[in-house]
Structure formats: C-alpha cells, structure tokens
C-alpha cells in the first residue's frame, strides 16, 4: 500500500488536541497528514503545515487585519475561502488524497466550504457538533461524509477519542480504497426521477445502457436537480433525459423540493441533447399531513410514505409550470424534444388514479404548446408515463438526437 496524503483542516487554538490525535492515527496507518490551521484568536496547539497567516492570505485578507477586527463574521468567510484555495492547490498538484476536519459551528462552516470545492469522489470526512441536525447548508450537493461528534469537541475523553478515531480510520479507508477520477465521457446521460416516475426512468436507463450509454440517475428532491445541472455545466454529462420536473413546481411554490431558478437551464445553455417530459409537474410534496400549509389543504392528497404527503396541484399552478418550462426550453442552444404523456404525468395522476385531473393536464398541455417556439418539436403521446411503450419512445428519440448531434 502506497503512502497517501490526508489534509486536516482545523482551528488549532481550540481543536488542536483533536487534530493531533487524528494526525497520529493517520500516521500510524502509514500515511502523511497535512495540517491547515484556520484559527484566528488563540495560540495554536501544534505546528501547522499551512499556518493561519498563510490561510488568511489565501482567503484574500492580511491575518493582522483579522486579529485587529476580532470578528467571527469577518474571519470565518476569509478562513473558509483560504482553506478552500489551499485545498484546490493541493489537489491540483496531487499533494492531497483526502481531507478530514473536526469542528463546531465555526469550524464546520470553514471546513465544509473547502470540502464542497473538492471533486466528487474525493474522500472528505467532517466530524461536527452540527451533524445531527439539518446539514444541507453544509453538504449542499457535494459528497461530504459528516459524523456527529456526540459530545462537544472540547478535549479528548472516552467519547471523543472513539469518534475521532473512527473518523480518522474512515478517511484512511477511503484513500486506501482509491477512487476513480470523475472525467468527461461522451456517453454519460443524466436522467431525472422521483418515486412516481421511477418506472419510466428505470426502463429508459436499461435501454440506454444496452445502447452503450452510461446513465446517471438523479433524484429530483431539490438537491438532485441542482447536482445534475452542476455536472452538466462541468461537462460531465453530455445528454439529459429530464423525466421529472417536480422541482420547477416546488420552486414556484417555494416548498420542499425547490431546486432554484436555474433548474432546466444547464443542458440548454451547454447545447447538449435533451429530451424533456413534464413528469410529476402536478405534485406538491410535504411532510406528515399536519405539516401541509393551509393553502393546500382540502385538495386530493396521498400518503406517499409515513413521512411524506403528496398533494395535487391546481390547474393554475400547472399553467405557471408550463410558462416557466417554455421560457427555459425556448432558450436552449442544442437539440431538444418535448414529450408529453397525455394519459398521466406520474403514477398517481394517470387515468384511473386518485389524482387524475384531465382538465388541469389539458390546460398545462395547451399553455406549454402555445408558448414553445415553432422550432421546438413537441410530441403528445396517448399513454401514461408508466407504460413501457412511452419509455421506449422517449429513449429512442434521445438516442437519435444524440447521434445527430455527434454527426
């Protein structure tokens, strides 16, 4: 086993003992540890490879200024930016194979910023007092592994030693296993789905794989759609089969699966082939029934799971989605084809389903088709999204679009 280099990000004035403890474990495993000190106020407990003065400089501010100001509001973003830039430099030079950190609210914020900038698959482990709550603003759409510290991170004891040892062992195991670099491939296709469009996505993925493509499937719960859009812009995906657009409805309503205003823009901006289906665009998702806001109560609803309640969108809400879709599709710079399964946009809304609403669906179809430019092909199919024939039609069309683009 060859020696690997693992960066440890930490505030050495308050978390120095913990950093040294993890450093020693890493070195006992035959690897080297590169210490990045992100502290500002107290004296560092141990010597860092990248001293805090260097981190502040990499963050764009003189360290003396941070000390003089003595403000976490100022120092935290600077040290986070500095740690990020140093990590990017280490990765570019091949001098870091993984990253580990330990922290409370401040340290977690700093380390998470640096870790989010690392490539997908690059080992990243973050021990945090914040890991038992909502970690979405720390992790975002990266693959950070967060570990709850259980006890506060204030010295070594029988609890903290166990947690920190596991974290150090985890990152060592990751770097020893190795990881594939996420590189551009000419036949990687993003597919979007949620549970109520799964049949179509699974069938499409099987057909694409049989045709020599590599399907990469994204769960459109807000983070999934944003992750796909980001990978498209990075050139990691060269085609999109956008089956589930529930995130557009949720953005309009500012609810659970909101992926932001840029959803359904990356493929068009990058000019790559995309087949677009309005899957799940009539579905509002909330938690348990009592969490459904008053505005949406009294509508047709289904308990999707013990913790999830699905509520049918109104005709007006679907029309708003159609308008948003049309605007974004019309701006596409590459080949695009829209397919509409007239008999049901998802498993719950198909003919015979509890949530089927023909009037609302037809209003959506009318609005979308009237607003799309004449050069955007639209095919309305008298099938529902679950039917195998529909998946076959849209997948074959995607392959045709892709081959035409290659030529």
Average the pLDDT over 9-32 and give the result. 97
- Please count the CA atoms within 13 angstroms of the CA of 163 that sit on its side-chain side: 26
Phi-psi category of residue 368: left, alpha or beta, with phi > 0 → left and psi -120 to 50 → alpha: alpha
**Alpha-carbon separation of residue 255 from 44, 206, 293 (angstroms):** 44, 32, 10
Average pLDDT over the chain, rounded to whole? 95
Q: Please tell me the predicted confidence (pLDDT) of residue 204.
A: 98
* Helix pair 198-210, 388-406: axis angle to 10 deg: 40
Give Cα 214 to chain centroid, integer Å: 19
Q: Strand locations in 173-319, DSSP E?
A: 188-193, 214-219, 240-244, 274-279, 283-286, 301-305, 308-312
Residue 379 has pLDDT above 90, yes or no: yes
Sheet holding 5-10, edge to edge: 32-37, 5-10, 98-103, 124-128, 145-148
C-alpha–C-alpha distance, residues 184 and 222, integer Å: 24
Q: Which residues pair with 217 in a beta bridge?
A: 191
172-186 pLDDT, tens digit per residue, is 999 999 766 655 557
C-alpha–C-alpha distance, residues 229 and 190, integer Å: 9
C-alpha–C-alpha distance, residues 156 and 6, integer Å: 21
Q: Which residues pair with 8 in a beta bridge?
A: 35, 100
Phi-psi category of residue 212: left, alpha or beta, with phi > 0 → left and psi -120 to 50 → alpha: left
73-125 pLDDT, tens digit per residue, is 889 999 999 999 999 999 999 999 999 999 999 999 999 999 999 999 999 99
Domains delineated in the chain: 5-177 (3.40.50.12020), 188-406 (3.40.50.12030)
C-alpha–C-alpha distance, residues 293 and 20, integer Å: 49
Residue 129 has pLDDT above 90, yes or no: yes
What is the Cα Rg of the chain in Å? 25
Q: Please tell me the predicted confidence (pLDDT) of residue 62.
A: 92
Classify residue 98 by its DSSP letter: E
C-alpha–C-alpha distance, residues 274 and 280, integer Å: 18
Average the pLDDT over 9-29 and give the result. 97
Q: How confident is the model at residue 1 (pLDDT cuts 50, 70, 90)?
A: low
Residue 136: count of CB within 10 angstroms of its CB: 10
């Amino acid at each position: 086993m060859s020696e690997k280099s693992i960066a440890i990000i930490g505030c050495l004035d308050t978390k120095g003992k913990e950093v040294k403890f993890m450093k020693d474990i890493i070195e006992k495993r035959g690897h080297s540890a590169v210490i990045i000190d992100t502290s500002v106020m107290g004296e560092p407990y141990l010597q860092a490879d990248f001293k805090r003065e260097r981190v502040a400089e990499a963050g764009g501010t003189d360290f003396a200024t941070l000390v003089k100001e003595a403000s976490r509001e100022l120092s935290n973003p600077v040290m986070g930016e500095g740690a990020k830039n140093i990590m990017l430099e280490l990765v570019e030079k091949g001098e870091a194979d993984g990253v580990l950190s330990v922290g409370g609210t401040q340290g977690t914020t700093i380390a998470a910023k640096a870790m989010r900038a690392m490539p997908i698959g690059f080992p990243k482990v973050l021990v945090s007092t914040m890991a038992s709550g909502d970690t979405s603003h720390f992790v975002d759409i990266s693959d950070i592994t967060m570990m709850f510290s259980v006890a506060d991170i204030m010295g070594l004891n029988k609890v903290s030693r166990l947690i920190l040892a596991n974290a150090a062992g985890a990152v060592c195991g990751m770097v020893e296993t190795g990881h594939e670099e996420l590189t551009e491939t000419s036949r990687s296709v993003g597919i979007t789905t949620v549970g109520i469009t799964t049949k179509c996505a699974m069938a499409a993925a099987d057909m694409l794989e049989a045709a020599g493509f590599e399907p990469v499937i994204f769960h459109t719960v807000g983070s999934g759609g944003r992750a796909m859009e980001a990978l498209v812009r990075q050139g990691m995906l060269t085609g999109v089969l956008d089956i589930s657009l529930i995130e557009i409805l949720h953005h309009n309503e500012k609810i659970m699966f909101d992926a932001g205003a840029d959803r359904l823009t990356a493929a068009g901006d990058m000019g790559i082939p995309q087949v677009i289906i309005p899957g799940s665009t009539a579905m509002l998702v909330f938690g348990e029934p009592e969490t459904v806001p008053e505005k949406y109560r009294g509508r047709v609803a289904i308990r999707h799971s013990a913790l999830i309640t699905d509520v049918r969108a109104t005709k007006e809400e679907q029309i708003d989605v159609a308008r948003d879709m049309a605007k974004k599709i019309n701006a596409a710079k590459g080949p695009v084809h829209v397919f509409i399964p007239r008999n049901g946009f998802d498993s719950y809304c198909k003919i015979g389903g509890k949530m089927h609403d023909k009037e609302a669906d037809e209003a959506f179809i009318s609005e979308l088709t009237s607003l799309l430019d004449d050069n955007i092909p639209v095919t309305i199919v008298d099938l529902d999204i679950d039917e195998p024939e529909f998946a076959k039609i849209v997948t074959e069309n995607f392959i045709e679009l892709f081959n035409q683009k290659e030529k």
